[in-house]
Structure 1
Amino acid sequence: DVLDLAKMEAGRMEVRVEQFHPSEIVDAMLNMFRPLAEKKNIALTSEIEPGIPPAKQDPSKIQQILWNLLSNAIKFTPEGGRVSVRVETDGAHLILSVSDTGIGIAPEDQGKVFEKFRQVGQALTREQSGTGLGLSIVRELAKLLGGNVGLKSELGRGSTFTVTVPLHWEATSPVPVDSLEPSMLASLAGRYGAPWRPAKETPRPPEETHDD
């Protein structure tokens, strides 16, 4: 997470545009998180607008956005709650929303949740604590893909995070991540207090983030 954020802030994150159907990514992510949701007796559902055409975007970045939003939603939703994913389009944009019935976010804290290392609200349990980078990464990924992220939340009633990106977007001369000099990457990571080491850019299983 730290290195991903450093690469994006340095303008060095590679974008790989492919054609794909959003429902396939949503289904894959729900299947990945379903065991974790079932462990907390959380209902995990999706609603996909009929007739959504294939998207031309970076599917791995869309997957990473959903991974962080679902991880965050399940983390802060108590047992017996609900988490849902909605996918729709306005014709020009792909709109992804993740809603939960979790603890919610106070109005005065809603502008802070996308800041690095920021975890706001009530005292966190060990299971709820984390790096504080997930929502920052969502914001930077949305910007990288030409879009934005919004938040609607009510304390004690839950939150909805909505990411809007172009449905069809062409990458323009992306700089390959492999072109980063090791010294530069180490320096960027050092800004966030993390040692640098080569690693593949693949999502970690949820279990690694949510230890019991």
Structure 2
Amino acid sequence: MIAGASAMGAGLALMIRAHLGAQPWDVLHLALAKLLGVSPGTVIIGVALLVLLFWWPLRQRPGLGTLATTILPGVSCDLVLSVVPVPDDLVPRAALLAGGISAFAAGTALVIRAGLGPGARDGLMTGACARWGWSVRTVRTCLELGVLVLGLVLTDPMQAIRTGTAGPGTIAIALTLGPLLGLLLKQRAKREAQPS
């Protein structure tokens, strides 16, 4: 759980440093950080606490994993942002983006696998999947696209594109994270179903 929550924050930071467009949730986080004059990590924690309010209609229950993913990704994100610079060349930036997506997806899967409660944002996904039978891929992709729109509404979209907050990487993240999580969690379910 701790490794997964930390990997989530590191993945977020790598996606930000790739400067090809941050994760959709981070378009929202960075817009709020700029509006409020606080660090991205602080906003990540604050948004996580706000998202927990939406758990009630989904009948989600928080756990130790929920607490860990409310705090650790924000701390980990700020730490990685402080040591990883933005590369000048496109190839290393694309590598940071791919590494960030992979680290974030793997971290999310680890937290969910720990069974100690999903992260605040992941609880929206797991709650909707459990309550209505929707696929992880569909729910996560819809969530990512929804928060992207909200983040762009709160900021100047052209400025977000010029500064690298939103870009082709943002769309790549929104469209690949859900299917990747669906695959990781499906593989877990298959392994658990096999007799030992």
What TM-score do you get using the length of structure 2 for normalisation? 0.29
Q: Relative CO higher for 1 or 2, CA cutoff 8 Å, sep ≥ 6?
A: 2
Larger Rg: 1
What TM-score do you get using the length of structure 1 for normalisation? 0.27
